[in-house]
Amino acid sequence: MEKVKAGIIGASGYAGAELVRILMNHPQVDLVGINARSYLGQAISELYPGFYQTCDMVFEDADVVIEKSDVIFTALPHGASEAFAVKCAGKKIIDLGADFRLDDEADYQQWYNLPYQHKELHTESVYGLSEIHREQIKKARIIGNPGCYPTSISLGSYPALKNGIVDGTHVIIDSKSGVTGAGKGLSDNTHFPRTNEAFAPYKAGAHRHTPEIEQMLSEMAGEKVMVTFVPHLLPINRGIISTMYYPMKKDMTLEEVHKIYTETYKNEKFVRVLPLGKYADLKFVKFSNYCDISLHMDERNSTLIVVACIDNMFKGAAGQAVQNMNIMFGLEEDCGLNMIAPSF
Amino acid sequence: MEKVKAGIIGASGYAGAELVRILMNHPQVDLVGINARSYLGQAISELYPGFYQTCDMVFEDADVVIEKSDVIFTALPHGASEAFAVKCAGKKIIDLGADFRLDDEADYQQWYNLPYQHKELHTESVYGLSEIHREQIKKARIIGNPGCYPTSISLGSYPALKNGIVDGTHVIIDSKSGVTGAGKGLSDNTHFPRTNEAFAPYKAGAHRHTPEIEQMLSEMAGEKVMVTFVPHLLPINRGIISTMYYPMKKDMTLEEVHKIYTETYKNEKFVRVLPLGKYADLKFVKFSNYCDISLHMDERNSTLIVVACIDNMFKGAAGQAVQNMNIMFGLEEDCGLNMIAPSF
Amino acid sequence: MEKVKAGIIGASGYAGAELVRILMNHPQVDLVGINARSYLGQAISELYPGFYQTCDMVFEDADVVIEKSDVIFTALPHGASEAFAVKCAGKKIIDLGADFRLDDEADYQQWYNLPYQHKELHTESVYGLSEIHREQIKKARIIGNPGCYPTSISLGSYPALKNGIVDGTHVIIDSKSGVTGAGKGLSDNTHFPRTNEAFAPYKAGAHRHTPEIEQMLSEMAGEKVMVTFVPHLLPINRGIISTMYYPMKKDMTLEEVHKIYTETYKNEKFVRVLPLGKYADLKFVKFSNYCDISLHMDERNSTLIVVACIDNMFKGAAGQAVQNMNIMFGLEEDCGLNMIAPSF
Amino acid sequence: MEKVKAGIIGASGYAGAELVRILMNHPQVDLVGINARSYLGQAISELYPGFYQTCDMVFEDADVVIEKSDVIFTALPHGASEAFAVKCAGKKIIDLGADFRLDDEADYQQWYNLPYQHKELHTESVYGLSEIHREQIKKARIIGNPGCYPTSISLGSYPALKNGIVDGTHVIIDSKSGVTGAGKGLSDNTHFPRTNEAFAPYKAGAHRHTPEIEQMLSEMAGEKVMVTFVPHLLPINRGIISTMYYPMKKDMTLEEVHKIYTETYKNEKFVRVLPLGKYADLKFVKFSNYCDISLHMDERNSTLIVVACIDNMFKGAAGQAVQNMNIMFGLEEDCGLNMIAPSF
């Protein structure tokens, strides 16, 4: 079979560089071009020396990259991907940014302070949470690749909301992210002596992933779900973990809930429902495409506690993007994604 | 004025060693003796080389330590302090363990699986959250020094609950603790390669600090408060931070709530209500006796988000114990406790 | 082609678990059995939850594992592998421990305080630094897989010593290792609050890798090389980096030395001589089989400074073991080892 | 006694902020003013929230600060302090930068590419390694406060060089520094995801502290000492540790060398020569003014290995500056500097 020709627009950022790392070893893909506006003509191995002698590809002009690609990954700040997407007529696009995630333009305008520039593109796009939107992804031309926080939260909530086990009127979601989530750009908050041995929340109740989370959870529940979402910055490199507090709606034991979760995900390689008594831990999903979920019950308060974690750069960005590509091109869904998390 | 003669039972553990570090530089205290059952005859500087040439005190028999002390700090596993307390007739005792924290023996029995051995001692003891129980502490002989999690949670909740601003029917508390909270004992979960770059909850909804938290919050609210409490292990050395989710009961703005908080704590040196827009961060309380509190509002869900953080070893253990000692002996409350958190 | 059947004796330790992780995704290997004396009957995913649902293999009796394997990896404390090796008649053995590394039994006795139990085995074994002993490895039945420190030091020294560029009379080697080097066993020195934000040397001038280092460097130089070797413990998980101080013997510029290094390793995928001006950094070899080398000159003192780094668990243990297996079985040398170090 | 009025020029950087933290609690000092050119009118607690409500001093114009101070600390990039020093006629100056450290202007010009602007100032200045230059410091008006690397190296080398125990013809010094050494300014090399779990040398054989080190060691030895100095960046916040390799000149045992070290420093509170068998560890000097020294011998190569470590921000900068101030003003040398390193 001919390999898929893949190109990346915005390959100098963390999500883009992780895509390069994954695609370089993907047996069914030829990475044919990479672009990064600020580094044209430079080798990616200059920016990320881990690529030295393994991938010394040079950043090229976006048009050149698009021209030779079957599928284009865009890994850009919000508001920037539409301009490239319009140039990709007839080609498949997987956008790792925020621009194709929200169904309702009004939400996008409210949270991102921008209108859509090319409304027509959004009629061709689907939100691509691989496990849940597989059928739509197969047929779509443009994928809005889910955000890192929403991926952990959606996968952790799906069986409970879909089966009406819990009440979605008001869900508390306390998430923690590694510092790669803040990207490659320098800031006081990511300066090592400031960040190391520190921990704090940020954008409490005001993070831009909130409408995406509520969109997904509402879709699952079949009714409006509202969340109080508070992200925190963890002094580690990678990983996102979300602790979710769901009031029980049905009178079920933890064992019964656990059974529904395991049943729901029994055919999903990348979602692991841990045995009861275990705790989902960032440690065991890092550098892999897995989402680990653990379930706990506060019986005194009839509250289901769901913990879901992923590698924010992998399942939360580049890994899921490749998973979606695999689905779009009819490849094995785990092709090139079988990395096992190192335990140490 | 004559200095207070202080002794420590259980000085080999983390809380005990931190007590030594603080008391060594306390201008009104003579640290006259330290005990640690497993290390009798050894110098504390053997265990903690930071003390070398500065404090080479040798662990002595508990009776010897008690004999020469005016005040005895006990820093022991639960169930172990009563046996020493009975030997301290007429002397003041500050227990850093769990044995004098719960008002109701039934709670103690339920969560710690032990009965009280010496019930009479508990009639002389008070729970010593310095800022809130100052008057009782002044008169008490025995202090149950608050747990680390409860200290952060109580100080963060007090103004809201006392003033009926929030609803305590069901409070979600998501806490994160540095690894020192697990103590000096070795375990797989505190082995460096396992813990570093990891993050997970533990004892979700089942931690032993739960009854202590509910006791304190209920006392503040004047009615039963119930909490879902989930602690997490942070891959840093020190610090506890609690993110609390309170449904609003009164129709107030965040500014109004903030004003009540600042008013409540205006005379409390060690509790800092941060300006609106700032986030409490472990970084800025570590190695100090401060509790930092930041307030946030999710208006979409009428939820007050309170973030409170402390150094778990300092304000969450040894520092507050010394603060309580200062209160008991009529010293300046901040005497020996004026350390400022290093910012890097 | 039929896959190689591989078994691991001592798969519960860090090196063993890393072997499992690599072999699980090796396209030419069937991992047919794993053994760990203390965990017989348990799944490796119990010990290392990252394997859950991906590798739930159960630890079996050593004899069972040996029986069904073509190649047996032993990852055991020193002194323990010979007893298994004698049971592997006619099968290939790759020992990740120290027992087949030293040419001279007297050295082994001096540094490990043990005699050989089965001297005959040592006539069939070769020291397996893949890049340097490739031809011997092809023909050998038993491989003494190099230690982590010696691997970094040997690869960093080879071109300089072999070409007589530097003087080996007395070489200073200052090495730093991540905590995984200390293994899975608990100790005060690897307890998180003790190790985190700490740094110190250990076994200065007395580490057991010293004779192995001198054996290798002397072989390269063709004359006796003596080293002062001081390892340090780095508060990170993985990686070993060695800074070596070689007095120049020939009158050459840094550029000339660099040219010899690049020429020497031009066909070696896993050894990267960095461009002049760059510094070898653990960051860019972690989770990969690469050894990065950077060269620097202190012209004021005619001293060549060589910096070489590897992932101690990968190229320094399991990765090189698999590389050696590939060589022994006539596979592509990089088969299953093409991982690229993540940059963040 | 009237308190010393102290002012700081350049108080927004790390060394300056650490000075503020120490001086705020110094019983014999009034910190009367702080300056930072880029932050005039802002409170230092805005930059470093740990100071909130404890030190909300506002950055003032340098002239104002100088005017009201008895002693002025300058904590500035090289080349910047002379311009302030000339304005401090008759006042004492302690410069934490590099401008008053080198005896020979030619060295300064060579390594810093700058001439002295005010040569006359340098006739009034002395290099202030407290333990070694105590008598000169007492009488000096201007102190060149030692660099962080040189402090650890000088204190570690002094007894050996002064007593002719070792050969200084060519000394290898392998040092490792925490990231605070790189200061508050943002850079790719101090971006958390880049720095965390990384380790590498930098400026091998070319660091600007080299002439300062050689100046000090030569002064001690009474003859020219040459060093190969290679610093490395440690992924921790604080601390500098230097491993020094000295060829033995005298035929002495390690015990004899150790005895000379302990004798030399027996009256020095802040220099601790550890018992033989122990290793100096950053852990036990952090947040304190101590320098810990451990001694080791590679008898096979007649090489003395000296390990010396300090907190780079404390004994390596602000702490030693305060120690020097104490000496200059006839205060107890440890006044305000009795902090004990936390062990966890």
| pLDDT by 10s per residue, chain B, length 344 | 799 999 999 999 999 999 999 999 999 999 999 999 999 999 999 999 999 999 999 999 999 999 999 999 999 999 999 999 999 999 999 999 999 999 999 999 999 999 999 999 999 999 999 999 999 999 999 999 999 999 999 999 999 999 999 999 999 999 999 999 999 999 999 999 999 999 999 999 899 999 999 999 999 999 999 999 999 999 999 999 999 999 999 999 999 999 999 999 999 999 999 999 999 999 999 999 999 999 999 999 999 999 999 999 999 999 999 999 999 999 999 999 999 999 99
Half-sphere exposure of B290 (CA within 13 A, CB side): 26
* Chain C residues in contact with B13 (beta carbon < 8 A): none
The CA distance from D313 to the nearest CA of chain B, in Å, is 9
Distance CA(B333)–CA(B325), nearest Å, equals 8
Strands of the sheet containing A171-177, edge to edge, are: A200-201, A227-233, A171-177, A240-247, A303-310, A291-298, A271-273
C181 Cβ neighbours under 8 A, 6+ residues apart:
C148, C233, C240, C312
Pick from A205, A228, A279: CB nearest B202? A279
Phi first, then psi, for residue A95 (nearest 5°) are -100, 120
Q: Which amino acid is at B264?
A: T
**pLDDT on residue A1:** 72
Quick check: A253 pLDDT over 90? yes
Query: Count of A–C CB contacts within 8 Å?
Result: 87
Q: Which of D137, D117, D131, D156 shows the shortest CA–CA distance to D244? A: D156
- D12: contact with B, CB 8 A cutoff: no
* 3 state DSSP class of A22: helix
Per-residue pLDDT of C76-113, as tens digits, reads 999 999 999 999 999 999 999 999 999 999 999 999 99
* Chain A residues in contact with B281 (beta carbon < 8 A): 198-200
In percent, the amount of chain C with pLDDT more than 70 equals: 100
Q: Determine which of A18, A190, A192, A287 to mutate to test the interface with D (most D C-beta atoms within 10 Å).
A: A192
Residue that has been written with the tokens 């409350």 in this structure: B333
* Chain A residues in contact with C52 (beta carbon < 8 A): 272, 274, 284, 292
Whether B237 and C193 lie within 8 Å, measured CB to CB: yes
Mean pLDDT of the region A186-214 = 96
* Chain A residues in contact with C183 (beta carbon < 8 A): none
Phi first, then psi, for residue B331 (nearest 5°) are -85, 170
Phi first, then psi, for residue D318 (nearest 5°) are -65, -40
Q: Which of C149, C319, C163, C312 shows the shortest CA–CA distance to C244? A: C149
Whether the CB-CB separation of A243 and A305 falls below 8 Å is answered with yes
Q: To 10 degrees, the CA torsion angle through B320, B323, B324, B328?
A: 170
**pLDDT on residue C29:** 98
In chain A, positions 95-154, which contact chain B (CB-CB < 8 Å)?
A: none
* Chain B residues in contact with D274 (beta carbon < 8 A): 49, 52
Residue that has been written with the tokens 């055919």 in this structure: A267
Whether B297 and A205 lie within 8 Å, measured CB to CB: yes
C167 Cβ neighbours under 8 A, 6+ residues apart:
C246, C247, C248, C249
Whether D204 and C279 lie within 8 Å, measured CB to CB: yes
A116 Cβ neighbours under 8 A, 6+ residues apart:
A82, A99, A105, A108, A122
Q: Which of B90, B87, B111 shows the shortest CA–CA distance to B99? A: B111
**pLDDT on residue D1:** 72
Per-residue pLDDT of D261-277, as tens digits, reads 999 999 999 999 999 99
The CA distance from C191 to the nearest CA of chain B, in Å, is 5
**Strands D142-144 and D200-201, bridge-based pairing:** unpaired
Whether D176 and C301 lie within 8 Å, measured CB to CB: no
| Helical packing angle, D148-162 and D210-221, nearest 10° | 20
Distance CA(A204)–CA(B307), nearest Å, equals 10
Quick check: A246 pLDDT over 90? yes
Quick check: D215 pLDDT over 90? yes
Q: To 10 degrees, the CA torsion angle through C176, C180, C181, C183?
A: 160
Q: DSSP readout, D276-302?
A: TT----GGGTTTSS-EEEEEEEEGGGT
Q: What pairs with residue A217 in β-bridges?
A: none
Distance CA(D279)–CA(D275), nearest Å, equals 9
> Which one from A88, A148, A291, A309 is the annotated catalytic residue?
A148
Q: Which of D233, D230, D231, D175 shows the shortest CA–CA distance to D199? A: D233
Q: Annotated catalytic, C148?
A: yes
Half-sphere exposure of C145 (CA within 13 A, CB side): 33
Q: Which amino acid is at C103?
A: D
Nearest residue in A to C12, CA atom: A343
Per-residue pLDDT of A73-121, as tens digits, reads 999 999 999 999 999 999 999 999 999 999 999 999 999 999 999 999 9
Whether the CB-CB separation of A258 and A201 falls below 8 Å is answered with no
Distance CA(B197)–CA(A234), nearest Å, equals 9
Query: Count of B–D CB contacts within 8 Å?
Result: 85
Per-residue pLDDT of D127-170, as tens digits, reads 999 999 999 999 999 999 999 999 999 999 999 999 999 999 99
Distance CA(D112)–CA(C125), nearest Å, equals 56
Residues of chain C with pLDDT under 50: none
Per-residue buried b or exposed e for A235-272, using 16+ beta carbons within 10 Å of the residue's own CB: bbbbbbbbbbbbbbbeebebeebbebbbebbeebbbbb
Per-residue pLDDT of A272-321, as tens digits, reads 999 999 999 999 999 999 999 999 999 999 999 999 999 999 999 999 99
Q: What pairs with residue C74 in β-bridges?
A: C9, C95
Mean per-residue pLDDT over chain A, rounded: 97
Q: Which of A304, A215, A327, A314 shows the shortest CA–CA distance to A253? A: A304
**Which tokens belong to D46?**
């805005």
**Strands C240-247 and C303-310, bridge-based pairing:** antiparallel
Distance CA(B228)–CA(B207), nearest Å, equals 10
Distance CA(B319)–CA(B317), nearest Å, equals 6
Q: Which of A256, A271, A268 shows the shortest CA–CA distance to A308? A: A271
In percent, the amount of chain C with pLDDT more than 90 equals: 99
A25 Cβ neighbours under 8 A, 6+ residues apart:
A336, C338, C339, C340
Phi first, then psi, for residue B80 (nearest 5°) are -105, -15
Nearest residue in C to D278, CA atom: C202
Per-residue pLDDT of D50-92, as tens digits, reads 999 999 999 999 999 999 999 999 999 999 999 999 999 999 9
Whether B228 and A298 lie within 8 Å, measured CB to CB: yes
**pLDDT on residue A284:** 98
| Helical packing angle, B319-328 and B14-24, nearest 10° | 50
C-alpha distance from residue D46 to each of B126, B263, D12, D56, D114 (Å): 39, 22, 10, 8, 34
**Strands B92-95 and B125-127, bridge-based pairing:** unpaired
Whether C241 and D199 lie within 8 Å, measured CB to CB: yes
In chain D, positions 266-285, which contact chain C (CB-CB < 8 Å)?
A: 279-283
